């Protein structure tokens, strides 16, 4: 790609990213305002079957069991996680038809099989206009849960819980790979990549399935790959060298 198309692509990407921030932020703010005014969506107070309630409890207990908390904290954290995953389940029941379609469109835009060329700008537009605003609907619950977990067991344990939830691909693991690939990055460049990985880790609290956790991370990883290119290092070149070094 010549310099001019690359600069144009990066400029358009920046515009779309700014639009996404405004759009998703507006959706999240409206959702929070409705909850604060007592007009919470139906998934906020889910009515689940006993079978689903058991799945919800099991999901929370699995995470809780990895934290090694003292007994006095276990019940409080268990209550928070059970409530959270009940809402996750109920929210997905409402949005999965739209979410599945949006992710499918994103995958198709990035498909490069059979000689097809990826259209990363189209993929970014789909992320901006469809995927991120949908997930923003659930942001009030994520933010509230993180605040509550920080209060009950502290920030370090909350981060530990998030790392257990997202162990694959994992925020620290992915970030470490970036540092190994491009060790010459400046501190401010590293900070941009890490901020996205930390955000991906939090956003995964909206996921019920592990495959969606992978998807959330992938959309942030694509942004990081573009940033590494923008920093002037050439992501693909460094990635290929890094993979070769692992053989």
Evaluate if residue 6 carries a pLDDT over 60.
no
CA distance readout (Å), 210 to 107, 162, 167, 197, 216? 17, 13, 10, 16, 10
pLDDT at res. 1: 41
Closest CA to 227 of 183, 180, 178: 178
Q: What is the DSSP string of 150-165?
A: HHHH-HHHHHHHHHHH
Rounded to an integer, the average pLDDT of 216-235 is 95
pLDDT above 90 coverage of the chain, percent: 85
Q: What is the DSSP string of 175-227?
A: HHHHHHH-TT--HHHHHHHHHHHHHHHHHGGG-SSHHHHHHHHHHHHHHHHHH
Dist CA 163 CA 174 (whole Å): 12
Report the sign of the C-alpha dihedral through residues 156, 170, 104, 224, in that order: positive
Evaluate if residue 10 carries a pLDDT over 60.
no
103-116 per-position pLDDT tens digit:
999 999 999 998 88
Kindly state the tokens that stand for 207. 């996921």
Dist CA 223 CA 242 (whole Å): 19
Evaluate if residue 130 carries a pLDDT over 70.
yes
On whether the CB atoms of residues 17 and 128 are closer than 8 A, the answer is: yes
pLDDT above 70 coverage of the chain, percent: 91
Evaluate if residue 3 carries a pLDDT over 50.
no
Evaluate if residue 50 carries a pLDDT over 80.
yes
On whether the CB atoms of residues 162 and 199 are closer than 8 A, the answer is: no
Question: Which position has the token pair 């290119």?
Answer: 229
Kindly state the tokens that stand for 168. 């694959």
131-145 per-position pLDDT tens digit:
999 999 999 999 999
């Amino acid at each position: 790609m010549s310099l001019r198309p690359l600069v144009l692509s990066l400029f358009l990407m920046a515009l779309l990213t700014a639009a996404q921030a405004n759009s998703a932020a507006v959706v999240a703010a409206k959702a929070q305002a409705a909850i604060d005014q007592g007009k919470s969506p139906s998934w906020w107070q889910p009515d689940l079957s006993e079978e689903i309630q058991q799945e919800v409890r099991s999901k929370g207990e699995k995470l809780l069991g990895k934290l090694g908390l003292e007994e006095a904290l276990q019940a409080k954290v268990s209550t928070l996680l059970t409530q959270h995953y009940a809402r996750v389940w109920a929210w997905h029941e409402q949005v999965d038809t739209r979410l599945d379609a949006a992710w499918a469109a994103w995958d198709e835009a990035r498909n490069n099989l059979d000689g097809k060329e990826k259209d990363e700008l189209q993929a970014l537009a789909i992320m901006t206009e469809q995927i991120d605003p949908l997930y923003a609907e659930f942001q009030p619950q994520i933010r509230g849960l993180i605040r509550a977990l920080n209060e009950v067991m502290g920030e370090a344990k909350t981060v530990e819980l998030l790392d257990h939830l997202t162990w694959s691909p994992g925020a620290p693991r992915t970030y470490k790979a970036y540092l190994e690939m491009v060790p010459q990055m400046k501190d401010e460049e590293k900070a941009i990549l890490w901020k996205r990985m930390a955000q991906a880790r939090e956003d995964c609290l909206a996921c019920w399935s592990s495959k969606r956790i992978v998807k959330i991370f992938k959309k942030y990883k694509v942004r990081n790959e573009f940033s590494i290119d923008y920093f002037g290092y050439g992501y693909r070149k460094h990635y290929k060298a890094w993979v070769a070094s692992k053989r």
